[in-house]
Amino acid sequence: MAPQESAPSAAEAESGFSRRTVLKGIGFGAAGIAAAPVLAACTGGSKPSSGGGSGGAVSKSVTVGSGSSDDVPKRAYQAVFDAFKAQSGDTVKVNTVPHNDFQNNINSYLQGSPDDVFTWFAGYRMRYYASKSLVAPIDDVWDSIGSNFSDALKQASTGDDGKKYFVPNYNYPWGYFYRKSLWASKGYQVPKTFDELKTLCAQMKKDGLIPIGFADKDGWPAMGTFDYINMRTNGYQFHVDLCAHKESWDQQKVKDVFDNWKALLPYQDPSALGATWQEAAQNLGKQKTGMYLLGSFVTQQFTDKKVLADIDFFAFPAMAVEGQDSVEAPIDGLMLTKKAANNQAAKDLLKFMGSGKGQDAYASIDTSNLQTAKDADTSKFNALNKKSADIIANAKHISQFFDRDALPAMANNVMIPALQKFIKDGSIDTKNLEAQAKSLYAAQ
Amino acid sequence: MSDLPLVGLPADTRPKRTVTASAGKSRKVRRLNGRDKLVLGFMVGIPTLIQAVFIWIPMLLSVALSFTRWNGLALSDIKSNGLQNYKFVVQDYPPFWPAVQHNIIWLAFLALVATPIGLLLAVLLDQKIKGSRIYQSIFFTPVMLSLVLVGIIWQLMYEKDNGLINNLLRTANTPHAIDWYGNSSINLWAALVAATWRHAGYIMVLYLAGLKGVDPSLKEAAAIDGATASQTFFRVVFPAMRPINIVVVVITIIEALRAFDIVYIINRGTNGLELISALIVQNLVGEGQVIGVGSALSVMLLVISLVPITIYLVRTFKKVD
């Protein structure tokens, strides 16, 4: 039944793979387990249909495949398409698919008869399909929207071949969230360094709090902590290279990450492995925990306005290198499928998404995320949004999230069990991680 | 022949019916004409085709894929990988051995706890107690419930701070609250209790049918010979239900091998709840797809499953001969 099914859109990416619909699982479980790989195989054979469909320069219609199936993002995207329609006169047809299904079926979707435009994520997940030529490059779109985005965003939209494949819509930062009133009453100060963080945790423990809220029943949330400690210990480039398996897992640098993390383990919520992030968010709201590292979508859990106004966050403290230069801020946006490579209406829609006007239409409904275009209207931002935007704007490097920057199988099949074991008993077998990584990356 | 509960029908009714039926067309059997052949061909061919398309061909392809490396995209990307996938699973894949162990525990628990409970329920409800039908329905309900509901029901029981069990134990919201799903040394047992809840109802229905089929005169004869109630049951009634017993053994083994749904609902088969079937799904469905490894796991499970299936079929066909 997956109680975590109600996760908001912003969490889709991280939680997506880990929240596969139960039905799907059951279907495969029931349908002769041995037959399952071939069901996947069936879809593998079909070649991408080239050029056909709604191609042609004169097209005035565009279809969109959307994985934003939750209520708020669904309405938000509809607002974008309505605004686009009003501006251009082109018709937009949306096919919304439950987000877990959308992500799980993306291989067969892109190879079958996809829509012209589809919702997707920056990072390895984008570059992978670009390198397999399942999506179309959109450099001509970027010629007109390029000036509207920072270099970090441009970099995040670029495939391995140097062409652009992705138009960002919004992003959101990860950080330590806390309740201002609690911290004020106890006199806690925002820690700037890792040592200060440890001291603060010790103090909180003394005060009867669980210092760090933590929830990893779903497996993916712990990757946020791993990413930050890795980037603060070894730098942004190491994170990227490790995720792409250009660096070995079986080396001292990786061991250092876990050694550093070990110092935090005694302060983490001991019931993490049985809790979802929603439950951990509730504990933060109830002031049972002192702080909680998560994406800013955590605020969607605080329905009480008073509590929501009392929430603030700080960037992950500095450790060994690069200070607080790197911020984890996953980007969601749109991509163009192979078959729509010549569909002008589809490209116009992507241009619109890359404009402040298009992104504002989205943000008018979904306020938990931040527009990425420079000319977007930020006057409606609340204090938390402003701070989020500042942190992202001042970041030298923007990482996605482990499961977006790395091979999905690595994140899903290797890291989840490994991190859960680490959280449980503080042990990690980097040699085994490397052995698994070698095998999985070779299969791509 | 059939091992299904039908077997318990009074033995003399069926031959009689056959006699009357064949008496009607005592004429010499004509050779099949073209239409008959066509009809027969369809009747045999279509199920065979369905069987082949949905079971045999995919199975053989899975076996083939288990020796390859493939990203699931173009067919030209399939690369031979020898026995590497099997080696990977056995040597490098940490969840594999725990999964095997958990499947064995699962089988032992179903066989030694859940199935006897089902038998016990059946024996109790077979007595002419008041409201027997109602109890039967209650115990059978879990078998019919959708998995989504099963998940919700057990979540309500097991939740750490809001769950029924911890509230009854008065440990909810305290540091002593038992983390039924999160603690990897107990979550398997929590899942097994939920599995028993379903399995016992299933077994109960099978045995109820079986008990109804046992000739009452057997019991009377035993009683006349001075057997106690338990002697009557274990020496007379239970052996008389042999066909049902075989079905139950097979069902229990199959349930243990394909156990999947409950752990998948809890945490998708991680952190102490690894099962082979859950690993297969993790490796084959969705973005984390590693087709070679997933296929290798499925082939392993297939081979394990073939053992009880073969034994069952051999026994069944022996009897026919």
B184 touches A: beta carbon within 8 Å: yes
Q: Which helix (H) or strand (E) holds A379?
A: none
| A37 pLDDT more than 50 | no
Edge to edge, the sheet with strand A166-171 lists A91-96, A61-66, A117-121, A331-336, A166-171, A370-371
B180 touches chain A (CB under 8 A): yes
- Residue A9's nearest CA partner among A102, A92, A52, A72 is A72
Could you give the C-alpha distances from A4 to A18, A341, B145, in angstroms and in order?
10, 37, 21
Mean pLDDT of A8-17: 40
Q: Is residue B196 part of a domain?
A: yes
Domain A3-26+50-172+330-399 superfamily per CATH: Periplasmic binding protein-like II (3.40.190.10)
How far is residue A248's CA from residue A255's CA, in Å, rounded to a whole number? Answer: 11
Structure tokens at B180: 């039924």
Domain-located, residue B240: yes
**B267–A contact, CB cutoff 8 A:** yes
**How far is the C-alpha of B308 from the C-alpha of B312, rounded, in Å?**
6
Q: How confident is the model at residue A25 (pLDDT cuts 50, 70, 90)?
A: very low
pLDDT digits over A120-137, tens only? 999 888 998 898 889 999
Compute the average pLDDT of residues B306-314. 84
Q: Which two three-digit tokens encode residue A434?
A: 């490397």
Q: Find where tokens 């209650």 sit.
A: B138
pLDDT attached to residue B179: 86
* Cβ–Cβ contact A418 with B under 8 A: yes
* DSSP state for residue A357 in the 8-state scheme: H
Joined together, the tokens standing for residue A361 give: 């239409």
Structure confidence at residue A39 (pLDDT): 42
- B298 vs A contacts (CB less than 8 Å): 33-34, 36-37
- Per residue in A248-293, pLDDT tens? 999 999 999 999 999 999 999 998 998 889 889 999 999 999 999 9
Q: Does B302 map to a domain?
A: yes
- Tell me, what's the ipTM? 0.78
DSSP letter for each residue of A255-275: HHHHHHHHTTGGGB-TTGGG-
Alpha carbons A231 and A253: distance in angstroms, whole number: 11
Report CB contact under 8 Å: A32, B59: yes
**Best to test chain B binding among A4, A6, A132, A413 (most B CBs inside 10 Å):** A413
Q: B189-239, pLDDT tens digit by residue?
A: 999 999 999 899 999 999 999 988 888 888 888 888 888 888 888 888 888
B135/B155 Cα distance (integer angstroms): 24
Closest chain B residue by Cα to residue A208: B175
**CB contacts, 8 Å: A17 with chain B:** 286-288
Residue B275 domain flag? yes
In terms of residue numbers, what domain contains B297? Answer: 74-320
B24 Cβ partners below 8 Å, 6+ apart?
none
Given CB atoms, is A103 within the 8 Å cutoff of chain B? yes
| Vertex A241: Cα angle to A434 and A223 (nearest 5) | 70
Query: What pLDDT is recorded for position B5?
Result: 42
| Residue B44 is assigned to a structural domain of this protein | no
Nearest to B285 among A25, A47, A218 (CB): A25
pLDDT confidence tier of residue B28, bands split at 50, 70 and 90: low
Q: Do A439 and B287 touch (CB under 8 A)?
A: no
Mean pLDDT across A190-217: 94
Q: Which of A27-36, A69-78, A363-372 has the lowest mean pLDDT?
A: A27-36
Give the distance from residue A218's alpha carbon to the nearest chain B alpha carbon, in angstroms. Answer: 7
Judged against a pLDDT cut of 70, whether residue B150 lies above it is answered with yes
Tokens 């040699």, residue?
A431
Domain ranges of chain A: 3-26+50-172+330-399, 174-328+407-442
Cβ contact A84:A91 at 8 Å: no
Non-local CB neighbours of B76 within 8 Å, separated by 6+ positions: none
- Contact by Cβ (8 Å): B122, B208: yes
Pick B250 or A228 by higher pLDDT.
A228
* Res B311 pLDDT > 90: no
The pTM score is 0.80
Question: How many Cα atoms are found within 13 Å in the side-chain-facing hemisphere of A355?
Answer: 16
Residues A1, B75: C-beta atoms closer than 8 Å: no
- Spacing of C-alpha A69 from chain mean position: 16
Single-letter code of the amino acid located at B277: S
Q: What is the mean pLDDT of residues B90-117?
A: 93
pLDDT band with cut points at 50, 70 and 90 for residue A19: very low
Nearest-CA distance from A16 to chain B in Å?
9
**Class of A174-328+407-442 per CATH?**
alpha beta
Residue B147 domain flag: yes
**B261 near A CB under 8 A:** yes
Give which of B46, B310, B66 is closest to A35, Cα–Cα: B66
* E strand segments, A267-314: 289-295, 311-314
Average pLDDT of the residues in A55-76 = 80
Buried b (16+ CB within 10 A) or exposed e, A37-53: bbbbbebbeeebeeeeb
Looking at residue A49, its pLDDT comes to 38
Interface test with A, best of B271, B273, B274, B309 (most A CBs within 10 A): B271
The strand pair at A117-121 and A331-336 is best described as antiparallel
Structure tokens at B86: 């099997």
Taking CA atoms, B259 is separated from A90, B191, B255, B265, B307, in Å, by: 51, 10, 6, 12, 17
- Is A156's pLDDT higher than 90? no
Nearest-Å Rg of the Cα atoms of chain B is 25
The pLDDT > 90 percentage for chain B reads: 27
Give the residue among A315, A71, A383 at the shortest CA–CA distance from A173: A315
Could you tell me if residue B136 is inside a domain?
yes
Whole-angstrom Cα distance, residue A257 to residue A264? 11
Cβ-defined contact of B88 to A47 (cutoff 8 Å): no
What would the pLDDT profile of B235-260 be if each residue is shown by its tens digit?
888 888 888 888 898 889 988 988 88
**B231 min Cα distance to partner chain A (Å):** 41
Identify the CATH number of the domain in which residue B261 sits.
1.10.3720.10
Inform me whether the pLDDT recorded for B286 exceeds 90. Answer: no
Per-residue pLDDT band for B27 (boundaries 50, 70, 90) equals: low
pLDDT at B11 over 60: no
> What is the pLDDT at residue A55?
40
* Alpha carbon distance A403, A13 (integer Å): 8
Least confident of A421-430, B19-28, B289-298: B19-28
Which residues on A lie below 8 Å from B80 (Cβ)?
none
pLDDT band at A317 (very low <50, low <70, confident <90, very high): very high
- CB of B74 within 8 Å of a chain A CB? The answer is yes
Residues 105-134 (A) with a CB less than 8 A from some CB of B: 106-107, 111, 125, 132, 134
Task: Give per-residue pLDDT as tens, A392-407.
Answer: 888 888 899 998 899 8
- Only one residue has tokens 């077997």, namely B7
B180: confidence class by pLDDT, cuts 50, 70, 90: confident
Confidence of residue B320 (pLDDT cuts 50, 70, 90): low
CB-based contacts of B90, cutoff 8 Å, min separation 6: B96
Q: B118 to chain A nearest CA, in Å?
A: 23
Instruction: Note whether residue B93 is domain-resident.
Output: yes
- Tell whether A35 lies on the interface with B, counting CB pairs under 8 A: yes
How many helices and strands, by DSSP H and E, does chain A display?
23, 12
Number of domains making up chain B: 1
* Residue with the larger pLDDT of the pair A40 and B307: B307
Distance (Å) from the alpha carbon of B280 to chain A's nearest alpha carbon: 8
- Is A47's pLDDT higher than 80? no
